[in-house]
Structure 1
């Protein structure tokens, strides 16, 4: 059979109907054969049509116990009381009322369950007293029988409640997993979009300025124009390299061994000198200083610091313009990395657009790693960006 083993699920109503019919048939067969032949005492009437009718009334209500348990309970117990009062053999119809008592206790409220248990105990006791047994035995078997049914019904009711709660919890967990998956996809898209913005904005801004410079000095200073064209080629190749890395991330399957290929495909502070050199080719005077014991950083923090410096230099190219002096300072401390990028003077180039998303991206990156960022006019003019990124403390107890 295709699709594995198929589990047939029967309608509970069908099961109850079959149970009622089987129990009714067994009771009538017992009454007609065993009761008359073996168990009938003197004074008990024969098992005739009245006994058969009352037995059917006792057992057949089991067929609707799932849909109308209290109605079935009342009808069955009423017929059982009439059967006992008519003087027929008492033990013939004991089990249907007990099973209906279980159904009411399991599905009904506590007050109704208590009434059902008391009524069943009373009818069972009356049936026992109608038989040639002692009062103690009649009461004892009633208490034991109803007690076992009560315990079984309450246990099954609690199990059913736990199963419902477990199903609800499973559904809730499934919904939360779907939300987390959607959130992860959204975060990944935002990270890739941020990377695309930083790569495209920086390189295109540099290309625009360098192309403008080459055009401006094409006739008067061919050497400077040639240098600008060479810088344009280098910037274009680096942009293509980073774009290929991002496209590689998008093509990577979900089973990749790299837990974070986006960071692996992106540059870090080891390429800061190249970044400064490209900015100098755009006409800015860049001074780069690094203080403190330089050390390897986590991939995400390394990329974050590089992108902040890159975006700050891109803003300087756009707004400070040619001839501006830009200082980039990085300080490696025991538990943090501090960076400061500031520009002075220069003339802003024309025709370089800005959408204001760069500062937003820098703040999002810094917030992602628990750092701080301040960007705005400097105390002596120009513009400055100051950021800090927390690092794992250095282990100073080990010798180098």
Structure 2
């Protein structure tokens, strides 16, 4: 079945890309479609029609994604701000959010027709500059000029609906990002504005950071460097953690087997590349498949993959459920290795240096909290990720993820980058003079 799926992947990915126009979204939709297909295999009467069935699911999920995209509004540079109402589980929050969107739509309608049409497609429907140019038969430069003209006009019209600047932080529900979760919880109800945005896949987080719908992220170092190389100016301001991942499988023999990893620009591909270079006899013939961390246990159980290499708590959870064991931990491959870093968009850090400085300060306070109050931090991880509290406590108490020496380190990053280049995860070096930033440490 694995061979059959591998043969189908190029076709379904191409179909999803044609419908969505985004490689990141296409990857997410195909991954979700595979999970749906395998969870409903009992409904498939003819195994020979699996290909057509999977394609039908992919098309259905693409249409669903397009409907969701159509409801989104991304005010990009205006998105550096939050509505004045504080974030809480309160009916007034929904009301404030609705009022802001209505005001934004009204503001766009007040623009000159040439600006209005471009802004409706860009902000309300989520079209790219290239797509708008094609739809409206304009040059891309003209579209950009219209957007540049419209943004300050919209900002003026929406000034009454905006509060103080907010730092918008993307994270995944993994133990590696505990620092951000604890920092957010420690600052709830205070004037310091932190808005956490949870993602289920690295590709979705990277896409949001690239578009500017978030301005800061806990992100794998190779992925952050790849974003920089492809034109998204980021500053690496702090390590998010060290160590913390494990390769988990039901069999010790992995030669020729398929290992799920978080994505093409993952720390885990770098470490597997190091293993292949150091021990070619044991690790030189291991295949990889991009698998979202939240889906790895289910994918392993359904034999879509033979093993997975990703961040906690998924390894500990999988082992506790039986049927799999940790084969090797990332710290045994490269002790104290860089994995996730805190990266901030350069435009945001330049515009709001004090806000970024305050955030770094509270991250260090969160680090101290992790070392002094494991119960509080286990409860925090349970709240932000949904994993059982006792599972989170075990990961913290056993120091599976470490939080020492978090200041940005150019030498350490350069060493890791060389591994990423040698393993083929990165095709070109990142400009570390631009990427590494110790202004906020």
TM interval, shorter chain, is under 0.3
Q: Normalized against structure 2, the TM-score is what?
A: 0.19
The structure carrying a bigger helix percent of its residues is 1
Structure with max Cα Rg: 1
Specify which structure has the bigger relative contact order, considering alpha-carbon pairs within 8 angstroms and separated by 6 or more residues: 2
The structure carrying a bigger strand percent of its residues is 2
Q: Normalized against structure 1, the TM-score is what?
A: 0.21
